[in-house]
Chain A
Amino acid sequence: AQSVAQPEDQVNVAEGNPLTVKCTYSVSGNPYLFWYVQYPNRGLQFLLKYITGDNLVKGSYGFEAEFNKSQTSFHLKKPSALVSDSALYFCAVRDRYSSASKIIFGSGTRLSIRP
């Protein structure tokens, strides 16, 4: 069965500092991995995805994520946080060889950037 774990409910970072939001996954095959962001009272916005190729994936708003197969992780990173990055972040996974198109989401990590 597919699953995603986001071990931190909340991450607090000072503006200008680097940030990391952690994600680990479990799938039976090779994964497709995603990060989404959710602002209050809004739907999820796609940030980036890993399908194949380079383990370092760059996405929207200066975010990037690194796929680590041995650690089954896909941590989200940004070199310099902005107050406007404060939001709820979701990691998601899909089994590459699954016939189902659904993706499984983690429980989310609330990122708070203080000025």
Chain B
Amino acid sequence: DTGVSQNPRHKITKRGQNVTFRCDPISEHNRLYWYRQTLGQGPEFLTYFQNEAQLEKSRLLSDRFSAERPKGSFSTLEIQRTEQGDSAMYLCASSSAGADTDTQYFGPGTRLTVL
């Protein structure tokens, strides 16, 4: 079990640029979640996949945000036309469909800084 991995760990970009983050869940975890965490706050839910289907999206996820999980394994989160308010830590988590389904295991996060 190698845990949830996220790349890149850090991303600095200029306002207006597009960025894409990747998340590799724990193998055989069919559920994958994206959260956003700003300084001094707890993580806020963005979206959730079961296999390749995106089942829920938060109102926080504006039209500039899109997430995919095309083969039900890794996922990408893209932010178009970044704004300074998008600066945050983006966390990915995964969980299994079995007995431990309610426990979400988190990756190390991608810290985005928009200049």
Contact = CB atoms under 8 A, between A and B. Distances in A.
B104 A43 contact: no
A87 interface: no
Interface string B96-109: 00000011111111
Nearest to A51: B102
Interface string A84-111: 0000001010100000111111111000
Contacts of B102: 32, 49, 51, 94
B91 interface: yes
Interface of B: 4, 6, 31, 33, 40-45, 48, 50, 55-56, 58, 91, 93, 95, 102-109
A106 B41 CA distance: 8
A102 B56 contact: yes
Given A43-B4, A90-B42, A103 B106 contact: no
Interface string A29-49: 000101010000111111001
